[in-house]
Amino acid sequence: MTSDRVAWPRTAGSLELRPPTNDDLDQVLVWRNHPAVTRWLLRTTVDPERFRAAWLDSVDDPDQHTAVAVLDGVVVGTGSLDVRDGIGQFDGDAWRGAEGLLGYLIDPAHAGRGYATAITSALLEIAFTDLGLRRVVAECFAENVPSWRVMEKAGMRREQHGVRDSWHAELGWIDGFTYAILAEEFAPAP
């Protein structure tokens, strides 16, 4: 079962986005711990069984919208949109689910083809059109140029440059970026 507010599958350019299956995750795990993927992740490697359980559990969580990106039967990437509450709000329902945290990964064999931008744009459309979120944020290491370029291509703006605020497993404390976009700023793809 998935959230009844999101209709799956979704088209994202030439990709199909849909909730992950066990077989999909077998494909993802082939490249998830590859050094080209882990280079810019906070969690550099994952335990395959914990990874699988977390992704399959997310399918039934109304606050998590995870998807695999499939091209001709091959999983070329993943995307996630985690709904979270507004900051500083403690009473009432108006703030619940006000913001989304967006993430994406691409199989290195399929990098540089615009798939991350397609995934990001589709998840933003889900966030604002299907879920009615107010705002979506995404974060990356400042040195991860391809990642922040994806965010900018999808219409997000850089809101924060944290000086040595992000721990990198190999590089130590380095700069990080936070990007965001508001619902009224989002323009869905034609």
- Considering the domain boundaries, does residue 190 fall inside one? no
Residue 154, domain extent: 10-185
- 3-state SS of the chain is CCCCCCCCCEEECCEEEECCCHHHHHHHHHHHCCHHHHCCCCCCCCCHHHHHHHHHHHCCCCCEEEEEEEECCEEEEEEEEEEECCCCCCCCCCCCCCEEEEEEEECHHHCCCCHHHHHHHHHHHHHHHHCCCCEEEEEEECCCHHHHHHHHHCCCEEEEEEEEEEEECCCEEEEEEEEEEEHHHCCCCC
pTM above 0.75, yes or no: yes
Tally the domains of the chain: 1
CATH number at residue 17: 3.40.630.30
- pLDDT tens column, 138-147: 999 999 999 9
Q: Write out residues in the chain with pLDDT < 70, as ranges.
A: 1-4, 43, 86-97, 190
